[in-house]
């Protein structure tokens, strides 16, 4: 990095350090963010408990709960433990110390895990068996099945297993994060230890089918249980007293001082190799594991009983996800749908002519992500397109967008891509795409030091008869075809000259050497978005005091920022009616008498992950609507590059208004914050006719599909990966 650019980044980093401190928020107004997130995960668990959902979808929700908890321990609990071990007593806006937070988290997680396994054993397993879907233990197999699995063990499992004794000569093996292992208790004369470990290689499937699907019957055994039944064959001349599957969760955050890194890509590759070997934060064992064996494992990992979770069932429910996807039982899944194509294809006019005529609003997944792919692919193929600039935060394993960008560069167009290498748990995929694009001749940059580039932008520069015109896609979601089928997001295709100018300025800042640009329509983090949101909330308060129409309606994934929360409290006290649709963490306590009684907080958890960010301000009777890539969290305001842009074309504005009103009508999947903010109840409008907003939009798709246009669905090669599938209600942003 050049001295000039380093100096610019240092000044920006210094400015970003002036984030709101915890004292900005009254502790009585603020809910602990981690406890709030756990209540969101409880709402996901409620979808698994909901018998109105198809059976295999309920099982999928159960898997997502486990996946979410894994990431919660890897990042959030790991971070609080580091504060605790460093004797950091600083509290957050909720005034909970690290010790208090960890205690409250452990208590809440234990109840959630107990509810998970009670649901599995008492409800889901019996219901699945009625549908001829069996997840069996060794003792439940038929003689024929035991013979089959024994042969499988001998030919495919035994050759790749390695028994590892644990004694002074054989140190405890370095177990990878979330890997499956079996603790083996031994007994025999002259043994130097009573404990050995068998690691289960990740190359082996975790669920083993027996003629799955024949005659409509699906029978499986977990590989851990198969190894338990045959583990004695690995230890000759000694007695195996027991074998107990276990799993350790490790700190998986990445730690980089970007200003001291010469090559960010290589530095992140190095950190990724360390991730699987971070400090342990949780130990999971099956409920039959003896106390002394669990104690030995805890001591080895530097954990205490507070970090031990004993479970009565599969240790990792996420391993069921590929089975659910592959199972041919459509009657046990959500009904498939074909999303709407907004842009014309085939013999119809090109997409640029459509955008010139009027901007297009896209509402995913109800509007197909193919509309976005069509924009990028036509830009790559069009000889009149001179340049393409795009941000990539997350994308799929076989990304058609990456393919199109590479082909555009190979065709001689100037293509610039800002890839975010630090997108959590997608770092390896993004490194791969960075190299692929560089090899194709794309200018690949990694954004601004100290910031994640989370904005969703694609800018196309095109030569036309009347000169150069720029076209733009702005969105609230990622350029990821798989999750675009699972997440609800909003996007706009436009050639608005002011917005495209703003976007071009923002790209120049991301890729060049300049100070943060002055934008006209767009508001961007880290320099302007927080002040903008606060100013808009305060403007509504002033309108209310003046007797003018005032109101705020925000749809976000998370509300955490203390200053925004205090501003909302002040607006409520000034007479502003505030509707907050917050899917995940909401640290604001609503309905406090005299303080936040005009604030209503709801959360919708359903088939699709509610991912769009929309802000509506009444503005004295002249409403303003904004779409954004940012949630209302300090990280989005101060540590990320984010965008927020107005929807001001009347037709598009009316569409967004209708979408927002539909969301607030939901009384099936919506829950409303109650009491002290840590409970949510479904009865938001108990006397109204039942209205499920996601089902409503699916019905609208069926009614409004345009038969005059050729439909070209997005084709994803192979099943989606587990992280992609968790998107129904997972937590990626």
C-alpha 180/C-alpha 199 separation (Å) is 7
Question: Is-catalytic flag, 454?
Answer: yes
For 483, the token pair is: 């999750």
C-alpha 487/C-alpha 369 separation (Å) is 11
Cβ neighbours, 10 Å, residue 653: 17
- Pairing outcome for strands 487-494 and 467-475: antiparallel
Please name the residue that has the structure tokens 């002036």: 18
What is the phi/psi pair of residue 470, to 5°? -110, 140
Query: Is the omega angle on the peptide bond into residue 409 within 30 degrees of 0, that is, cis?
Result: no
Question: End-to-end CA distance of the chain, in Å?
Answer: 29
Report DSSP letters for 530-575, one per residue: HHHHHHHHHHHHHHHHTT---EEEEEES-B--HHHHHHHHHHHHHT
Cβ neighbours, 10 Å, residue 598: 21
Q: H helices within 249-311, ranges in order? A: 264-275, 291-301
Question: 557: closest CA among 616, 455, 617, 489?
Answer: 489
Helices then strands, counting H and E runs in the chain, come out as 22, 27
C-alpha 508/C-alpha 502 separation (Å) is 10
For 681, the token pair is: 């109840």
C-alpha 74/C-alpha 76 separation (Å) is 6
Catalytic residue among 9, 363, 364, 454: 454
For 53, the token pair is: 């959902």
Cβ neighbours, 10 Å, residue 92: 20
Compute the radius of gyration of the chain from its Cα atoms.
27
C-alpha 557/C-alpha 476 separation (Å) is 11
Question: 434: closest CA among 460, 453, 462?
Answer: 453
Residues designated as active site:
454
């Amino acid at each position: 990095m050049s001295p000039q650019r380093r100096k610019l980044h240092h000044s920006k980093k210094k400015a970003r350090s002036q984030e709101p401190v915890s004292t900005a928020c009254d502790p009585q107004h603020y809910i602990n963010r981690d406890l709030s997130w756990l209540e969101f995960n409880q709402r996901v668990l409620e979808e698994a408990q909901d018998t109105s959902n198809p059976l295999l979808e309920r099982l999928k929700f159960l898997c997502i709960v486990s996946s979410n908890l894994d990431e919660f321990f890897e990042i959030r609990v790991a971070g609080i433990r580091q504060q605790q071990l460093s004797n950091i007593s600083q509290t957050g806006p909720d005034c909970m110390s690290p010790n208090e937070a960890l205690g409250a988290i452990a208590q809440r997680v234990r109840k959630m895990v107990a509810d998970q396994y009670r649901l599995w054993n008492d409800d889901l397993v019996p219901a699945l068996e009625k549908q001829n879907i069996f997840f069996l233990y060794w003792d439940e197999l038929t003689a024929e099945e035991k013979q089959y699995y024994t042969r499988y063990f001998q030919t495919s499992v035994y050759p790749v297993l390695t028994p590892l004794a644990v004694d002074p000569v054989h140190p405890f093996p370095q177990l990878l994060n979330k890997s499956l292992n079996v603790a083996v208790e031994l007994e025999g004369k002259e043994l130097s230890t009573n404990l050995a470990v068998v690691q289960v290689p990740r190359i082996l499937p975790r669920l083993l089918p027996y003629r799955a699907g024949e005659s409509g019957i699906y029978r499986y055994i977990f590989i851990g249980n198969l190894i338990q039944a045959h583990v004695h064959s690995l230890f000759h001349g000694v007695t195996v007293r027991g074998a107990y599957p276990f799993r350790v969760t490790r700190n998986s955050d990445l730690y980089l001082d970007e200003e001291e890194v010469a090559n960010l890509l290589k530095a992140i590759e190095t950190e990724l190799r360390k991730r699987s070997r971070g400090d342990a934060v949780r130990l999971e064992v099956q409920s039959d594991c003896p106390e002394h064996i669990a104690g030995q494992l805890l001591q080895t990992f530097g954990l205490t009983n507070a970090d031990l979770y004993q479970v009565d069932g599969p240790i990792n429910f996420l391993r069921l996800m590929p089975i659910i996807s592959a199972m041919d039982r459509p009657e046990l899944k959500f009904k498939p749908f074909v999303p709407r194509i907004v842009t014309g294809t085939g013999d119809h006019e090109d997409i640029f002519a459509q955008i010139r005529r009027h901007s297009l609003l896209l509402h995913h997944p109800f509007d197909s992500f193919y509309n976005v792919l069509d924009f990028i692919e036509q830009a790559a193929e069009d000889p009149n397109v001179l340049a393409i600039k795009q941000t990539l935060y997350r994308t799929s394993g076989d990304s058609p967008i990456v393919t199109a960008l590479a082909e555009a560069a190979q065709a001689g167009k100037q293509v610039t891509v800002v890839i975010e290498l630090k997108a959590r748990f997608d770092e390896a995929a993004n490194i791969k795409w960075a190299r692929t694009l560089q090899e194709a001749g794309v200018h690949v940059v990694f954004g601004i030091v100290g910031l994640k580039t989370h904005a969703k932008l694609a800018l196309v520069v095109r030569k036309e008869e009347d000169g150069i015109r720029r076209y733009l896609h702005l969105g609230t979601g990622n350029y990821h075809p798989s999750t675009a089928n699972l997440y609800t997001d909003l996007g706009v295709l436009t050639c608005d000259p002011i917005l495209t100018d703003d976007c071009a300025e923002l790209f120049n800042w991301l890729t060049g050497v300049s100070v943060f640009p002055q934008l006209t329509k767009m508001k961007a983090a880290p320099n302007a978005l927080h002040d903008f949101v606060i100013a808009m909330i305060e403007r509504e308060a002033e309108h209310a005091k003046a007797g003018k129409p005032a109101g705020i309606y925000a749809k976000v994934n998370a509300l955490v920022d203390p200053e925004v929360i205090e501003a909302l409290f002040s607006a409520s006290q000034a007479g502003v009616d505030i509707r907050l649709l917050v899917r995940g963490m909401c640290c604001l306590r609503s309905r406090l008498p005299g303080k936040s009684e005009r604030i209503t907080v709801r959360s919708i958890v359903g088939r699709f992950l509610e991912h769009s960010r929309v802000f509506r301000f009444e503005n004295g009777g002249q409403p303003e609507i904004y779409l954004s890539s940012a949630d209302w969290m300090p990280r989005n305001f101060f540590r990320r590059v984010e965008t927020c842009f107005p929807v001001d074309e009347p037709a598009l504005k009316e569409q967004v208004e209708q979408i927002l009103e539909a969301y607030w009508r939901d009384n099936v999947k919506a829950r409303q914050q109650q009491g002290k903010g840590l409970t949510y109840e479904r009865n938001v409008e108990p006397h109204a006719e039942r209205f499920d907003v996601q089902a409503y939009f699916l019905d609208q798709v069926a009614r409004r599909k345009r038969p005059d246009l050729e439909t070209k669905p997005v084709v994803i090669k192979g099943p989606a990966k587990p992280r992609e599938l968790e998107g129904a209600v997972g937590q990626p942003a």
